[in-house]
Chains A and B, each alone.
Chain A
Amino acid sequence: MTTMTTRRTQSMRRRERFWGLLFVTPIGLQVVLFCIVPIGIAVVAGFTNWNVIKGTYDFIGLDNFFEFLTDKYFWTAAGNTVFMLIPIPFYLFFGILFAIGSHRGTPGNQVFRILFFLPYISSVVALVVMWKWLFNYQYGLVNQLLAGIGIQGPDWLGDPAWIKTTIVIMIIWKMIGITSIYVLAALKNIPEVYYEAARLDGASPIRMFFQITLPMLSPAIFFLTIVGIIGSLQTFVEVQLFTSDGGRNYSAATITYYIWQKAFVSNELGLAFATAIFFALVILGVTLIQFRMSRRWVYEGE
């Protein structure tokens, strides 16, 4: 009798394991085929002089790494990439502001939510086309409005001193919507009792915001910062669409743009992979530092 039961549970477990494995197979295959294998190829190829057109594929050690680290255009691109972090505090600030504004049944809040969310779900290509017109030097709405108050607007897209700023403004505008949606969800999760207790103790609304709301929002803000920094560091489409060659004097090119250019314009796949690996490690490092620092300011519940 006992042996029968153990055998039955054993076979049941085996069957469960079989089905379990079967169910994770698709996602497992996806991870292996589209993540692990390509990363493996990239890591290996980063140490070669792989060039598709010439057909070369020889191991050249660390040469690729020396090449891009001594390339002044790589460092220009690195500087521009850091510049792309500027939008993050801005859209976090405005996102939180809008979320709080539309949190408590403000009239028309649904409409506002949709309006703010639209840029995020719109195609970047369409947005860039629209922005190119808005920021057109002679006929753009922005410069015409500025002219209305007596200011001659800059050549937003052509002037190397302004092109990055234009991209930054566009990223801010695009990200406010998704930020406020995340913050709104986090706001809804703050138990009302905290505010009731605070009110009983006679706390002012400002104090409640800084002592209750902000700490309770910190996990969401942390998440948005991590995702935002990674996204900013990977800025590419805007650069490629706003400028045809990375901007005058490479003024808008980011590291991702540099990698793309090395891979698909210069055909130096090996060099591109080496740069990509290096860049991935940098992003990983930045993210780890953020996690380490998060202990100081992110509230993780009792």
Chain B
Amino acid sequence: MKKRSAAVAVFAAAALVLSGCSAAQTESGEHTITFMGWGSDTEIAVFNDMIAQYEDKYPDVKVDYITVPAADFQTKLQTMIASNKTPDVFYLAPENVMPFASSGIIADLSDYVDNNDLFDPANVWQKAIDMYRYDGTTPGKGAVYGLPKDIGPFALAYNKDLFDAAGVTAPDPESPWTWDEFVAAAKKLTNGTGDDKVYGSAPYSLESAVWSNGGDWLNADHTKVTVTDPKFTEALQWVADLSLKEGVVPTSEEESSLPSFQRFMDGKVAMMGVGPWNQGGFWADAKFNWDLMPWPVSPATGERAVWYGGIGFGVANSSKDKEDASNLAAFLAFNEDAQRTNMEQGQAVPNLIDMAKNEYLTSDKAPANKEEFIRIIEDYGRRATQTYTYNSEWFGLFNSNLASVWTGEQTAEEYAASVQDEMQQMLDDGIAEQTK
């Protein structure tokens, strides 16, 4: 009897101590929000710095910064969502906006965007914010569910030294090459054999080719797979033939042995698609002059096209401190110091339009034609088609055996015909999931 009451007393005391702790915490108003992301060591260091600044500005808030390797991020996030421990702020991929928003995982930030002290939405690239919009049926429209960490336009870079040596002049930024002109130039640039082989171009951006040719993976409202459309297969075949027929691009075996990025850095590939995130590496390691040129255009449309990507910050709907979490997201997305650091390290084009136009464009670092990045953001860049659908399994299927076109085992038409029906099935399943 005595023993039991002693035990009860111990429990009661423990309970008191525990509740006392939490009571004390709420009184002082201090609380912790969690932020989860990935990144290179430099990026993590920049973020740690930004978080310290944020904590100075909002002394009541402590930020618990969790970094996960990029490959494990999605798994980890999903586990945390499942156990109701969704981080208050986390990296949000554009393709996750639709599933996450429709099941109420991420918070609607529209009001916050319009009424906040940290940034002026008019000074942020329209397309960067649009990547995180969703109106309940169509992505890219309606309420805002995320703030952009960065926007990544994919531009065509070239090695000026190789161009000069081959007597090739890059096109004027205002008048892009046609595909034929591109192939002719690439042929001039391709020479040598064995380990000295120089290729005219890295594997060409399939998005750029398909869109410029007037095709797409899906129809306009993203309900029908259109890869058997001749506009699509023609572009796919053209990209494959750059290696198979023209021999100006590494074969797919060579590409898997030594990726074109490495070949470009070694001066063994003359043209390659790059993003702003590559600039830092080029500044540090490229032993040649380089610049950007506009993407070549298909004779079918004469229009340039390419994709832009990006990652954003989402705020958990379950967050107890949405205001603080939104502030953190906005701080990380738009803080001038952070944006400038990223720009100076050659990681990104600033999210802030005035900084991009006044500081980025006027800096004297390569590339000279930085305007091309901006033009892609403002003008001819497009979101990847698979970010418009509920899931991208149809796109995964399209890619799963695409190599058989690159190796010439199948023609573009044969391949498209072989995957069309199953892709449609998967797309239909996704649409059914979305509306369920």
Binding site for B on A (CB under 8 A): 52-55, 136-140, 155, 157-158, 160, 245-246, 248-250, 264-267, 269
Contact with A along B65-89 (1 / 0, CB 8 A): 0000000001100110110000000
Q: Measured between alpha carbons, how far is A137 from B250 in the docked complex, in Å? A: 13
10 more A-B contacts (CB under 8 A) besides A138-B257, A158-B252? A52-B81, A53-B105, A54-B103, A138-B254, A139-B257, A155-B253, A246-B400, A250-B400, A266-B391, A269-B82
7 nearest A-B residue pairs (beta carbon): A138-B257, A249-B401, A52-B82, A137-B257, A158-B256, A264-B75, A137-B253
Q: Measured between alpha carbons, how far is A180 from B65 in the docked complex, in Å? A: 47
Q: Measured between alpha carbons, how far is A246 from B105 in the docked complex, in Å? A: 29
User: Nearest chain A CB to B79's CB is how many angstroms away?
Assistant: 8
Given the complex, which residues of B lie within 8 Å of A137, measured CB to CB? 253-254, 256-257
Q: Measured between alpha carbons, how far is A54 from B391 in the docked complex, in Å? A: 12
User: Nearest chain B CB to A32's CB is how many angstroms away?
Assistant: 19
Given the complex, which residues of B lie within 8 Å of A269, measured CB to CB? 82
Q: Does B258 contact A (CB under 8 A)?
A: yes
Do A53 and B78 have beta carbons less than 8 Å apart?
yes
Q: Measured between alpha carbons, how far is A264 from B252 in the docked complex, in Å? A: 29
Residues of chain B at interface, number, CB under 8 A: 27
The residue on B at minimum CB distance from A267 is B78
Q: Does B399 contact A (CB under 8 A)?
A: yes
Q: Does B396 contact A (CB under 8 A)?
A: yes
User: Nearest chain B CB to A214's CB is how many angstroms away?
Assistant: 44
Contact with A along B239-265 (1 / 0, CB 8 A): 000000000000011101110000000
Given the complex, which residues of A lie within 8 Å of B256, measured CB to CB? 137, 155, 157-158
Given the complex, which residues of B lie within 8 Å of A264, measured CB to CB? 74-75, 78
A54-B253 contact given A245-B396, A248-B403, CB 8 Å threshold = no
A249-B254 contact given A53-B78, A54-B99, CB 8 Å threshold = no
User: Nearest chain B CB to A258's CB is how many angstroms away?
Assistant: 14
A158-B403 contact given A53-B81, A53-B105, A138-B254, CB 8 Å threshold = yes
The residue on B at minimum CB distance from A260 is B75
Do A53 and B99 have beta carbons less than 8 Å apart?
yes
Q: Does B53 contact A (CB under 8 A)?
A: no
- Sampled A-B contacts (22; CB under 8 Å): A53-B78, A53-B100, A54-B99, A54-B103, A54-B436, A55-B103, A55-B104, A138-B254, A138-B258, A139-B257, A139-B258, A140-B257, A155-B253, A155-B256, A158-B252, A158-B256, A248-B400, A248-B404, A264-B75, A265-B74, A266-B391, A266-B393
Specify the main secondary structure of chain A where it touches its partner: loop
Q: Measured between alpha carbons, how far is A53 from B253 in the docked complex, in Å? A: 38
Given the complex, which residues of A lie within 8 Å of B82, measured CB to CB? 52, 269
The residue on A at minimum CB distance from B434 is A54
Given the complex, which residues of A lie within 8 Å of B257, measured CB to CB? 136-140
Q: Measured between alpha carbons, how far is A267 from B392 in the docked complex, in Å? A: 12
The residue on A at minimum CB distance from B401 is A249
Q: Measured between alpha carbons, how far is A267 from B79 in the docked complex, in Å? A: 10
The residue on A at minimum CB distance from B399 is A245
Q: Measured between alpha carbons, how far is A149 from B116 in the docked complex, in Å? A: 70
Of A53, A139, A250, which is within 8 A of B103 by CB?
Answer: A53
User: Nearest chain A CB to B7's CB is how many angstroms away?
Assistant: 17
Of A52, A160, A249, which is within 8 A of B78 by CB?
Answer: A52
User: Nearest chain A CB to B430's CB is how many angstroms away?
Assistant: 10
Given the complex, which residues of B lie within 8 Å of A249, measured CB to CB? 400-401, 404
Number of residue pairs A-B, CB distance < 8 angstroms: 57
Given the complex, which residues of B lie within 8 Å of A136, measured CB to CB? 257-258
Q: Measured between alpha carbons, how far is A158 from B406 in the docked complex, in Å? A: 12
Most buried by A among B104, B404, B433: B433
Given the complex, which residues of B lie within 8 Å of A267, measured CB to CB? 78
Given the complex, which residues of B lie within 8 Å of A139, measured CB to CB? 257-258
User: Nearest chain B CB to A279's CB is how many angstroms away?
Assistant: 20
Q: Measured between alpha carbons, how far is A269 from B75 in the docked complex, in Å? A: 12
User: Nearest chain A CB to B258's CB is how many angstroms away?
Assistant: 6
User: Nearest chain A CB to B319's CB is how many angstroms away?
Assistant: 17
Q: Measured between alpha carbons, how far is A157 from B252 in the docked complex, in Å? A: 12
Contact with A along B391-414 (1 / 0, CB 8 A): 101001001110110000000000
User: Nearest chain B CB to A301's CB is how many angstroms away?
Assistant: 48
Q: Measured between alpha carbons, how far is A184 from B79 in the docked complex, in Å? A: 44
Given the complex, which residues of A lie within 8 Å of B103, measured CB to CB? 53-55
Within 8 A of A (CB), among B357-372: none
Most buried by B among A53, A54, A250, A266: A53
The residue on A at minimum CB distance from B78 is A52
Q: Measured between alpha carbons, how far is A160 from B410 in the docked complex, in Å? A: 14
Q: Measured between alpha carbons, how far is A144 from B185 in the docked complex, in Å? A: 33
Given the complex, which residues of A lie within 8 Å of B105, measured CB to CB? 53
The residue on A at minimum CB distance from B255 is A158
The residue on B at minimum CB distance from A140 is B257
User: Nearest chain B CB to A156's CB is how many angstroms away?
Assistant: 10
Given the complex, which residues of A lie within 8 Å of B252, measured CB to CB? 158
The residue on A at minimum CB distance from B99 is A53
Within 8 A of A (CB), among B98-145: 99-100, 103-105
User: Nearest chain A CB to B243's CB is how many angstroms away?
Assistant: 14
Q: Measured between alpha carbons, how far is A52 from B74 in the docked complex, in Å? A: 12
Given the complex, which residues of A lie within 8 Å of B81, measured CB to CB? 52-53
Given the complex, which residues of A lie within 8 Å of B74, measured CB to CB? 264-265
Most buried by B among A52, A55, A139: A52
Q: Measured between alpha carbons, how far is A246 from B393 in the docked complex, in Å? A: 14
Q: Measured between alpha carbons, how far is A292 from B280 in the docked complex, in Å? A: 64
Q: Measured between alpha carbons, how far is A248 from B103 in the docked complex, in Å? A: 33
Given the complex, which residues of A lie within 8 Å of B400, measured CB to CB? 245-246, 248-250
User: Nearest chain A CB to B58's CB is how many angstroms away?
Assistant: 31
Q: Measured between alpha carbons, how far is A54 from B104 in the docked complex, in Å? A: 8
Contact with A along B269-283 (1 / 0, CB 8 A): 000000000000000
User: Nearest chain B CB to A161's CB is how many angstroms away?
Assistant: 11
User: Nearest chain A CB to B286's CB is how many angstroms away?
Assistant: 22
Given the complex, which residues of A lie within 8 Å of B401, measured CB to CB? 160, 248-249
User: Nearest chain A CB to B192's CB is how many angstroms away?
Assistant: 15
Contact with A along B407-436 (1 / 0, CB 8 A): 000000000000000000000000001001
Given the complex, which residues of A lie within 8 Å of B399, measured CB to CB? 245
Q: Measured between alpha carbons, how far is A80 from B324 in the docked complex, in Å? A: 50
Given the complex, which residues of A lie within 8 Å of B99, measured CB to CB? 53-54
Within 8 A of A (CB), among B275-327: none
The residue on A at minimum CB distance from B100 is A53
